[in-house]
Amino acid sequence: MALSFFRKDSKAAASPDHLEAFLKGYSIEVMPRTAEKVEDFRALLPKGTRVYIAHIDGTPIEEMVATAKRIAGEGFDVMPHFPARIIADKATLADWIARYQGEAGVKQALLLGGGVGTPVGDYDNSMQLLESGLFDGFDRLHVAGHPEGNKDIDKDGGDAIVMQALKWKQDFSERSDAKMAIATQFCFEAEPVIAWANHLAAAGVHLPIHIGVAGPAKLQTLIKFAISCGVGASLRVLQKRAMDVTKLLLPYEPTEFASELATHKAANPLFGIEQVHFFPLGGIKTNAAWVTEHGGASGVPANA
Protein backbone atom coordinates (compact mmCIF):
# COMPACT_ATOMS: atom_id res chain seq x y z
CA MET A 1 0.00 0.00 0.00
CA ALA A 2 2.86 2.37 0.72
CA LEU A 3 3.70 2.59 -2.97
CA SER A 4 0.27 4.02 -3.71
CA PHE A 5 1.20 7.16 -1.80
CA PHE A 6 4.50 7.60 -3.60
CA ARG A 7 4.70 10.87 -5.50
CA LYS A 8 4.62 10.40 -9.23
CA ASP A 9 3.58 12.34 -12.31
CA SER A 10 2.74 15.44 -10.25
CA LYS A 11 4.34 17.61 -12.94
CA ALA A 12 2.14 16.14 -15.66
CA ALA A 13 -0.12 18.54 -17.55
CA ALA A 14 -3.26 19.31 -15.61
CA SER A 15 -6.50 18.00 -17.11
CA PRO A 16 -9.76 19.97 -16.79
CA ASP A 17 -11.45 16.66 -15.97
CA HIS A 18 -8.98 16.06 -13.14
CA LEU A 19 -9.65 19.51 -11.70
CA GLU A 20 -13.41 19.09 -11.97
CA ALA A 21 -13.22 15.75 -10.14
CA PHE A 22 -10.92 17.24 -7.51
CA LEU A 23 -13.32 20.12 -6.79
CA LYS A 24 -16.38 17.89 -6.53
CA GLY A 25 -17.97 18.11 -3.09
CA TYR A 26 -15.88 21.10 -2.03
CA SER A 27 -16.66 23.00 1.15
CA ILE A 28 -16.37 26.68 1.96
CA GLU A 29 -15.90 28.76 5.09
CA VAL A 30 -17.90 31.83 6.10
CA MET A 31 -18.29 34.11 9.08
CA PRO A 32 -21.56 35.69 10.20
CA ARG A 33 -20.53 39.10 8.87
CA THR A 34 -19.52 37.72 5.46
CA ALA A 35 -22.61 35.53 5.23
CA GLU A 36 -24.76 38.63 5.67
CA LYS A 37 -23.48 39.91 2.33
CA VAL A 38 -24.88 36.89 0.47
CA GLU A 39 -28.56 37.24 -0.42
CA ASP A 40 -29.07 33.54 -1.21
CA PHE A 41 -26.38 30.86 -0.98
CA ARG A 42 -28.37 28.70 -3.41
CA ALA A 43 -27.46 31.13 -6.19
CA LEU A 44 -23.74 30.51 -5.56
CA LEU A 45 -23.10 27.02 -4.18
CA PRO A 46 -23.90 23.52 -5.44
CA LYS A 47 -26.64 21.62 -3.64
CA GLY A 48 -25.38 19.94 -0.48
CA THR A 49 -22.21 22.04 -0.13
CA ARG A 50 -20.77 21.90 3.38
CA VAL A 51 -20.51 25.42 4.82
CA TYR A 52 -18.17 25.87 7.76
CA ILE A 53 -19.01 28.78 10.05
CA ALA A 54 -15.87 30.26 11.57
CA HIS A 55 -16.19 31.32 15.19
CA ILE A 56 -13.89 34.29 15.77
CA ASP A 57 -13.24 35.21 19.39
CA GLY A 58 -15.76 37.85 20.44
CA THR A 59 -18.56 36.73 18.10
CA PRO A 60 -21.71 36.15 20.17
CA ILE A 61 -23.04 32.60 20.03
CA GLU A 62 -26.42 34.06 19.04
CA GLU A 63 -24.90 35.35 15.77
CA MET A 64 -23.24 32.02 15.10
CA VAL A 65 -26.46 30.06 15.62
CA ALA A 66 -28.53 32.51 13.56
CA THR A 67 -26.07 32.15 10.67
CA ALA A 68 -26.17 28.36 10.94
CA LYS A 69 -29.99 28.39 10.99
CA ARG A 70 -30.20 30.65 7.95
CA ILE A 71 -27.74 28.64 5.82
CA ALA A 72 -29.19 25.28 6.89
CA GLY A 73 -32.61 26.64 5.96
CA GLU A 74 -31.34 27.21 2.44
CA GLY A 75 -30.51 23.51 2.18
CA PHE A 76 -26.81 23.31 3.05
CA ASP A 77 -24.90 21.24 5.58
CA VAL A 78 -23.48 23.58 8.20
CA MET A 79 -20.37 22.83 10.22
CA PRO A 80 -19.71 25.43 12.94
CA HIS A 81 -16.31 25.83 14.53
CA PHE A 82 -15.85 24.91 18.19
CA PRO A 83 -12.59 26.65 19.24
CA ALA A 84 -11.56 25.03 22.54
CA ARG A 85 -9.75 28.02 24.02
CA ILE A 86 -12.75 30.38 23.84
CA ILE A 87 -15.16 27.93 25.51
CA ALA A 88 -15.38 28.57 29.25
CA ASP A 89 -16.53 25.17 30.51
CA LYS A 90 -18.54 22.04 29.82
CA ALA A 91 -21.83 23.79 30.58
CA THR A 92 -21.06 26.44 27.95
CA LEU A 93 -20.10 23.78 25.42
CA ALA A 94 -23.32 21.86 26.12
CA ASP A 95 -25.33 25.06 25.71
CA TRP A 96 -23.73 25.86 22.35
CA ILE A 97 -24.36 22.36 21.06
CA ALA A 98 -27.97 22.43 22.25
CA ARG A 99 -28.57 25.75 20.50
CA TYR A 100 -27.03 24.60 17.23
CA GLN A 101 -28.95 21.34 17.26
CA GLY A 102 -32.23 22.81 18.44
CA GLU A 103 -32.33 25.81 16.09
CA ALA A 104 -30.33 24.67 13.06
CA GLY A 105 -30.28 20.87 13.23
CA VAL A 106 -26.48 20.83 13.28
CA LYS A 107 -24.89 17.36 13.15
CA GLN A 108 -21.38 18.35 12.06
CA ALA A 109 -18.59 20.25 13.83
CA LEU A 110 -15.02 21.39 13.34
CA LEU A 111 -13.11 21.07 16.61
CA LEU A 112 -9.92 23.09 16.98
CA GLY A 113 -7.71 24.73 19.56
CA GLY A 114 -8.60 28.24 18.47
CA GLY A 115 -6.61 31.33 17.67
CA VAL A 116 -6.20 32.75 21.16
CA GLY A 117 -3.03 32.24 23.19
CA THR A 118 -4.55 31.79 26.62
CA PRO A 119 -7.64 29.64 27.23
CA VAL A 120 -10.56 31.48 28.79
CA GLY A 121 -11.61 28.40 30.74
CA ASP A 122 -11.30 24.65 31.02
CA TYR A 123 -10.40 23.70 27.45
CA ASP A 124 -7.05 24.02 25.73
CA ASN A 125 -7.29 21.67 22.73
CA SER A 126 -9.67 19.76 20.50
CA MET A 127 -8.89 16.42 22.13
CA GLN A 128 -10.51 17.65 25.34
CA LEU A 129 -13.61 18.56 23.36
CA LEU A 130 -13.74 15.11 21.79
CA GLU A 131 -13.31 13.49 25.22
CA SER A 132 -16.19 15.53 26.67
CA GLY A 133 -18.70 13.08 25.21
CA LEU A 134 -20.94 15.97 24.18
CA PHE A 135 -20.39 15.34 20.48
CA ASP A 136 -21.68 11.76 20.66
CA GLY A 137 -24.35 11.41 18.00
CA PHE A 138 -22.79 13.88 15.56
CA ASP A 139 -22.51 12.61 11.98
CA ARG A 140 -19.19 14.32 11.28
CA LEU A 141 -16.33 15.64 13.42
CA HIS A 142 -13.46 17.39 11.68
CA VAL A 143 -10.17 18.47 13.24
CA ALA A 144 -7.58 21.02 12.17
CA GLY A 145 -4.43 20.31 10.18
CA HIS A 146 -1.35 22.40 9.41
CA PRO A 147 0.65 21.21 6.37
CA GLU A 148 3.35 23.79 7.07
CA GLY A 149 3.50 23.17 10.81
CA ASN A 150 2.15 25.15 13.73
CA LYS A 151 4.71 27.04 15.79
CA ASP A 152 2.07 27.86 18.40
CA ILE A 153 2.10 24.14 19.22
CA ASP A 154 5.54 22.91 18.15
CA LYS A 155 7.57 25.94 19.10
CA ASP A 156 10.83 24.39 17.84
CA GLY A 157 9.46 24.34 14.29
CA GLY A 158 9.07 20.56 14.24
CA ASP A 159 5.90 18.50 14.31
CA ALA A 160 6.31 16.07 17.22
CA ILE A 161 3.42 17.41 19.31
CA VAL A 162 1.10 17.90 16.33
CA MET A 163 1.80 14.38 15.08
CA GLN A 164 1.16 12.90 18.52
CA ALA A 165 -2.21 14.69 18.58
CA LEU A 166 -3.12 13.50 15.08
CA LYS A 167 -2.32 9.91 16.01
CA TRP A 168 -4.59 10.30 19.06
CA LYS A 169 -7.35 11.60 16.78
CA GLN A 170 -6.79 8.71 14.38
CA ASP A 171 -7.30 6.30 17.30
CA PHE A 172 -10.39 8.23 18.40
CA SER A 173 -11.87 7.98 14.90
CA GLU A 174 -11.63 4.21 15.07
CA ARG A 175 -13.86 4.08 18.15
CA SER A 176 -16.24 6.85 17.08
CA ASP A 177 -19.37 6.44 14.97
CA ALA A 178 -18.78 9.88 13.44
CA LYS A 179 -16.98 10.32 10.15
CA MET A 180 -13.79 12.24 10.77
CA ALA A 181 -11.45 14.26 8.55
CA ILE A 182 -8.62 16.78 8.79
CA ALA A 183 -9.49 20.27 7.51
CA THR A 184 -6.29 22.21 6.91
CA GLN A 185 -5.09 25.77 6.92
CA PHE A 186 -4.85 27.27 3.42
CA CYS A 187 -1.66 26.76 1.41
CA PHE A 188 -0.26 28.00 -1.88
CA GLU A 189 2.30 25.40 -2.95
CA ALA A 190 1.55 21.81 -3.92
CA GLU A 191 4.85 20.05 -3.22
CA PRO A 192 4.93 20.70 0.57
CA VAL A 193 1.27 19.62 0.79
CA ILE A 194 1.99 16.37 -1.05
CA ALA A 195 4.98 15.68 1.19
CA TRP A 196 2.93 16.40 4.33
CA ALA A 197 0.07 14.13 3.30
CA ASN A 198 2.51 11.33 2.53
CA HIS A 199 4.21 11.92 5.91
CA LEU A 200 0.86 11.46 7.69
CA ALA A 201 0.14 8.25 5.80
CA ALA A 202 3.59 6.86 6.59
CA ALA A 203 2.99 7.63 10.29
CA GLY A 204 -0.29 5.72 10.31
CA VAL A 205 -2.61 8.74 10.18
CA HIS A 206 -5.18 7.91 7.51
CA LEU A 207 -7.90 10.45 8.30
CA PRO A 208 -9.12 11.94 5.01
CA ILE A 209 -7.63 15.37 4.30
CA HIS A 210 -9.76 18.32 3.21
CA ILE A 211 -7.07 20.65 1.91
CA GLY A 212 -7.38 24.36 2.57
CA VAL A 213 -7.29 26.53 -0.55
CA ALA A 214 -7.39 30.33 -0.59
CA GLY A 215 -9.97 31.58 -3.04
CA PRO A 216 -9.25 34.34 -5.57
CA ALA A 217 -8.25 37.61 -3.92
CA LYS A 218 -5.99 40.62 -4.21
CA LEU A 219 -2.37 39.71 -3.62
CA GLN A 220 -2.03 42.19 -0.75
CA THR A 221 -5.06 40.63 0.96
CA LEU A 222 -3.62 37.13 0.72
CA ILE A 223 -0.22 38.16 2.04
CA LYS A 224 -1.87 39.85 5.02
CA PHE A 225 -3.94 36.77 5.86
CA ALA A 226 -1.02 34.40 5.26
CA ILE A 227 1.17 36.29 7.73
CA SER A 228 -1.56 36.57 10.37
CA CYS A 229 -2.49 32.88 10.04
CA GLY A 230 1.08 31.61 10.24
CA VAL A 231 1.27 30.25 6.70
CA GLY A 232 5.02 30.02 6.31
CA ALA A 233 6.75 28.01 3.63
CA SER A 234 4.37 28.64 0.75
CA LEU A 235 4.20 32.37 1.52
CA ARG A 236 7.22 32.64 -0.76
CA VAL A 237 4.92 31.86 -3.68
CA LEU A 238 3.01 35.08 -2.98
CA GLN A 239 6.17 37.06 -2.30
CA LYS A 240 7.66 35.94 -5.62
CA ARG A 241 4.47 36.94 -7.38
CA ALA A 242 4.58 40.36 -5.68
CA MET A 243 8.03 40.96 -7.19
CA ASP A 244 6.65 40.43 -10.71
CA VAL A 245 5.31 43.80 -11.84
CA THR A 246 3.17 42.14 -14.52
CA LYS A 247 1.30 40.15 -11.85
CA LEU A 248 1.36 42.58 -8.94
CA LEU A 249 -1.98 44.18 -9.72
CA LEU A 250 -3.69 41.00 -10.91
CA PRO A 251 -5.80 39.02 -8.43
CA TYR A 252 -4.38 35.71 -7.26
CA GLU A 253 -6.28 32.61 -8.37
CA PRO A 254 -5.63 29.09 -7.00
CA THR A 255 -5.72 27.47 -10.45
CA GLU A 256 -2.11 26.27 -10.55
CA PHE A 257 -2.10 25.02 -6.96
CA ALA A 258 -5.40 23.16 -7.29
CA SER A 259 -4.48 21.75 -10.71
CA GLU A 260 -1.19 20.31 -9.45
CA LEU A 261 -2.94 18.59 -6.57
CA ALA A 262 -5.70 17.38 -8.88
CA THR A 263 -3.17 15.86 -11.26
CA HIS A 264 -1.35 14.15 -8.40
CA LYS A 265 -4.61 12.79 -7.01
CA ALA A 266 -5.58 11.42 -10.43
CA ALA A 267 -2.21 9.64 -10.71
CA ASN A 268 -2.38 8.39 -7.10
CA PRO A 269 -6.03 7.56 -6.28
CA LEU A 270 -5.24 6.54 -2.68
CA PHE A 271 -3.51 9.84 -1.96
CA GLY A 272 -4.90 11.23 1.30
CA ILE A 273 -6.58 14.42 0.06
CA GLU A 274 -10.31 13.73 -0.22
CA GLN A 275 -11.79 17.18 -0.81
CA VAL A 276 -11.03 20.87 -1.18
CA HIS A 277 -11.98 23.37 1.52
CA PHE A 278 -12.07 27.00 0.38
CA PHE A 279 -11.24 30.10 2.39
CA PRO A 280 -13.01 32.84 0.36
CA LEU A 281 -10.57 35.61 1.27
CA GLY A 282 -11.58 37.66 -1.76
CA GLY A 283 -15.30 37.17 -1.19
CA ILE A 284 -17.75 34.28 -1.31
CA LYS A 285 -19.24 35.30 -4.67
CA THR A 286 -15.79 35.58 -6.27
CA ASN A 287 -14.77 32.19 -4.90
CA ALA A 288 -17.98 30.50 -6.03
CA ALA A 289 -17.64 31.99 -9.51
CA TRP A 290 -14.08 30.63 -9.82
CA VAL A 291 -15.26 27.12 -8.89
CA THR A 292 -18.12 27.32 -11.37
CA GLU A 293 -15.70 28.37 -14.10
CA HIS A 294 -13.06 25.74 -13.32
CA GLY A 295 -15.12 22.96 -11.77
CA GLY A 296 -17.70 22.34 -14.46
CA ALA A 297 -20.64 20.41 -13.01
CA SER A 298 -18.91 20.42 -9.61
CA GLY A 299 -19.51 24.15 -9.32
CA VAL A 300 -23.08 24.48 -10.58
CA PRO A 301 -25.21 26.49 -8.12
CA ALA A 302 -28.15 24.78 -6.45
CA ASN A 303 -30.78 26.91 -8.19
CA ALA A 304 -29.15 26.84 -11.66
Q: Label each residue of the chain as H, E or C.
A: CHHHHCCCCCCCCCCHHHHHHHHCCCEEEECHHHHCCCCCHHHCCCCCCEEEECCCCCCCHHHHHHHHHHHHHCCCEEEEEEEHHHCCCHHHHHHHHHHHHHHHCCCEEEEECCCCCCCCCCCCCHHHHHHCCCCCCCCEEEEEECCCCCCCCCCCCCCHHHHHHHHHHHHHHHHCCCEEEEEEEEECCHHHHHHHHHHHHHCCCCCCEEEEEECCECHHHHHHHHHHCCCCCCHHHHHHHHCCHHHHCCCECCHHHHHHHHHHHHHCCCCCEEEEEEECCCCHHHHHHHHHHHHHHHHCCCCC
Q: Give the predicted TM-score (pTM) of the model.
A: 0.89
CATH top class, domain 15-291: alpha beta
How is the chain split into domains, by residue range?
15-291
Tens digit of each residue's pLDDT, the chain (304 residues): 333 333 334 444 567 899 999 999 999 999 999 999 999 999 999 999 999 999 999 999 999 999 999 999 999 999 999 999 999 999 999 999 999 999 999 999 999 998 788 999 999 999 999 999 999 999 999 999 988 765 566 566 567 888 999 999 999 999 999 999 999 998 888 999 999 999 999 999 999 999 999 999 887 777 665 555 555 555 666 656 555 544 555 678 999 999 999 999 999 999 999 999 999 999 999 999 999 999 999 999 999 8
